[in-house]
Amino acid sequence: MTALVIRGGHLIDPAAGIDSLKDVLLKDGRVAEIAAPGKLKPADGAEVLDATGLTVAPGLIDMHVHLREPGQGYKETIATGTAAAAAGGFTSAAAMPNTAPVNDSPEVTRWMLAPERGAVIRVFPIAAATRGSKGETINDFAALKSAGAVAVSDDGLPILKDSVMRETLAAAARVGLSVIQHAEDTRLTQVGGKNASMNLGPTSFRLGLRGWPNEAESGIVERDIRLVSELRDARAHLHVAHTSTAAALNAVRQARRNGLRVTCEVAPHHFLLTDEHVGFYDTNAKMCPPLRAAADRDAMIEAILDGVVDAIATDHAPHAVHEKEVEFENAPNGITGLETAFGLCLHWLHKEWKMPLGRVLSLLSAQPAALLNLKGRGTLAVGSFADVVIFDPRAEWTYNARQTKSKSRNTPFDGWKMQGKVRWTISEGRIAYKSEV
């Protein structure tokens, strides 16, 4: 494999404690050497990337995406989803199992990982916790882990039964996997066969839409934390997906004070938008969990700045145009996010709200790597995987959803200002994305 030299860039690697001008040599898919500018030994035949004026950082890791394969290739494929991820600076994406069929078997997990899928970055399947994600029968976690699964979840659906969730946490802990819970008490969000389609509050009342109460999320998180505390000796790890309510965050904060292994992620839309962004029935503002009240959105921002939130994850959920061009309550939940997450985080968290760049990068790389136990990722220490993002932190640009590399363009961030332009994304030493400028 050829070597790559990244020359003249400002290396920020929070996990390795580096924040200075460095040249980096990538070789055989790994970081081979880091040296002061101009001090790298010339490598024969190495391609040189001029990163003068740019920032070099560990490739971003999105621990929550829907790549739609197998089964829903009209929304997204592993090839198009990973191309969008690479354009967004991501070198790793953890793919949720709500595919068709559900990824509840080593066969599906291996199928997703096969080279024929055409992934341009590393995909890490998250396997279903229960058979068919029906919340009844627990899958063989050891077999799924050896096939490549990095966590278990029934995402899109909650594991409602106490006994099943307890056994899932215990069984996952035995094989060293975390359990990622989609916290939604469907007994409160699906009433009489009708689904709630936005946050419950004055806006849902005004728009005449069925509302999703905050307790439907926080109640499940509180129940899960109780189960984790009962399994304290087993070192069970609960990770709360797409946290959207202040009450759920408070429960996580309290659990951590009590020494439990409870972590959480927040999606950019939940720390930027409120239920008022549904506007006039904009189906690109419909997702699950829904956009919340301003007080909850503000609590997400506070928790990110205060370090309670462990990771930023997109919940990238592509849907075809025709699926979203329907009545609001009939539209599927979800928005795309891989191409906008980094630009939004840099614009809002870093530029507007003054979060240090290293901490923003850590939320998008080192921290999710640790949560999923991805060894050798989320850092550029010598010997790590050569997963790198090179970006211009000062560049401002406007997102145009029509130019997306995803198959879908269901985003509320079309036309939004972004900060920080990705110039190259390098996955295990290969250039996965290169900007046109």
Partner 1 sequence: MNPTATPARRQLHPPPVPASPFPYHPGSLLSAQDLTLDCVSHILARARCRILAKRRVALLFYESSTRTRTSFELAAKGLGADTTLVSSLSSSIEKGETLKDTGLTLRALGAEAIILRHNSSGAAWLLESETRLPVLNAGDGMHEHPTQALLDLRTMLAHLRPGTETLTPETLAGVTVTIVGDILHSRVARSNMVLLPRLGARVLLCGPKELLPELAAQAGPGIAVERDFNAALHQSQAVMMLRIQAERLAGQQLDLEEYKANYQLHGPRLAAHAPTAIVLHPGPIIRGLEVTAGVADGPQSVILEQVRNGVAIRMAVVERALTASQQGGRA
In terms of CB distance, is 181 or 284 closer to partner 1? 284
Q: Is residue 257 part of the contact set for partner 1 (CB under 8 A)?
A: no
- From the list 352, 373, 383, 400, which residue makes contact with partner 1 (rule: CB under 8 A)? 352
**Residues 186-215 contacting partner 1, CB under 8 A:** 191-194, 200-202, 205-210, 214
Residue type at 262?
Answer: V
- Do residues 422 and 283 make contact, with C-beta atoms less than 8 angstroms apart? no
Q: Is residue 342 part of the contact set for partner 1 (CB under 8 A)?
A: no
> Segment contacting partner 1 (CB under 8 A): 25-33, 61-69, 324-332, 371-379?
324-332
Beta carbon of residue 410, minimum distance to partner 1 (angstroms, whole number):
15
- From the list 19, 33, 140, 329, which residue makes contact with partner 1 (rule: CB under 8 A)? 329
Exposed, middle or buried: residue 48 (CB in 10 Å: 0-12, 13-18, 19+)?
middle
In terms of CB distance, is 319 or 377 closer to partner 1? 319
Beta carbon of residue 65, minimum distance to partner 1 (angstroms, whole number):
23
Token pair of 24, please?
């980096």
> Segment contacting partner 1 (CB under 8 A): 256-264, 293-301, 309-317, 387-395?
293-301
Kindly give, in sequence order, each residue whose CB lies less than 8 Å from that of residue 374, ignoring residues fewer than 6 positions away: 61, 92, 124, 150, 368
SS3 per residue for 266-287: ECHHHHHCCHHHHCCCCHHHCC
Task: State the Cα–Cα distance between residues 26 and 387, nearest whole angstrom.
Answer: 9
Beta carbon of residue 211, minimum distance to partner 1 (angstroms, whole number):
9
Beta carbon of residue 187, minimum distance to partner 1 (angstroms, whole number):
11
Identify whether 106 is preceded by a cis peptide bond (ω within 30 of 0).
no
The residues facing 239 across adjacent strands are 180, 263
Q: Is residue 327 part of the contact set for partner 1 (CB under 8 A)?
A: yes
- Determine how β-strand 55-58 pairs with β-strand 388-398: antiparallel
Task: Report CA 1 to chain centroid distance, whole Å.
Answer: 30
Q: Is residue 357 part of the contact set for partner 1 (CB under 8 A)?
A: no
Q: What is the DSSP letter of 106?
A: H
- From the list 99, 218, 314, 408, which residue makes contact with partner 1 (rule: CB under 8 A)? 218
C-alpha dihedral sign at 44, 50, 54, 58 = negative
- Determine how β-strand 178-181 pairs with β-strand 238-240: parallel
Residue 217: count of CB within 10 angstroms of its CB: 29
- From the list 139, 181, 245, 411, which residue makes contact with partner 1 (rule: CB under 8 A)? 245
Residue 205: count of CB within 10 angstroms of its CB: 10
In terms of CB distance, is 340 or 427 closer to partner 1? 340
- From the list 273, 335, 401, 432, which residue makes contact with partner 1 (rule: CB under 8 A)? 273
Beta carbon of residue 338, minimum distance to partner 1 (angstroms, whole number):
20
Token pair of 278, please?
């549904």
User: Which residues are the active-site residues?
Assistant: 315
- From the list 246, 252, 366, 390, which residue makes contact with partner 1 (rule: CB under 8 A)? 246
Binding mask 126-165 for partner 1 (x = CB under 8 A): ----------------------------------------
Q: Is residue 298 part of the contact set for partner 1 (CB under 8 A)?
A: yes
Q: How many residues bind partner 1 (CB under 8 A)?
A: 49
In terms of CB distance, is 98 or 244 closer to partner 1? 244
Token pair of 176, please?
């060293």
Residue keyed to tokens 């989609």: 182
In terms of CB distance, is 126 or 355 closer to partner 1? 355
Task: State the Cα–Cα distance between residues 179 and 4, nearest whole angstrom.
Answer: 37
In terms of CB distance, is 41 or 257 closer to partner 1? 257
In terms of CB distance, is 277 or 430 closer to partner 1? 277
Reduce the DSSP state of residue 232 to 3 states and report it. helix
Task: Report CA 373 to chain centroid distance, whole Å.
Answer: 15
**Residues 377-416 contacting partner 1, CB under 8 A:** 416
Q: What is the DSSP letter of 42?
A: P
In terms of CB distance, is 153 or 274 closer to partner 1? 274
Residue type at 98?
Answer: N
Beta carbon of residue 256, minimum distance to partner 1 (angstroms, whole number):
16
Token pair of 313, please?
């994850």
Beta carbon of residue 1, minimum distance to partner 1 (angstroms, whole number):
43
Residue type at 279?
Answer: G
- Do residues 103 and 97 make contact, with C-beta atoms less than 8 angstroms apart? yes
Residues in touch with partner 1 (CB under 8 A): 191-194, 200-202, 205-210, 214, 218, 245-247, 250, 272-274, 276-277, 279-282, 293-299, 301-302, 305, 322, 325-330, 348, 352-353, 416
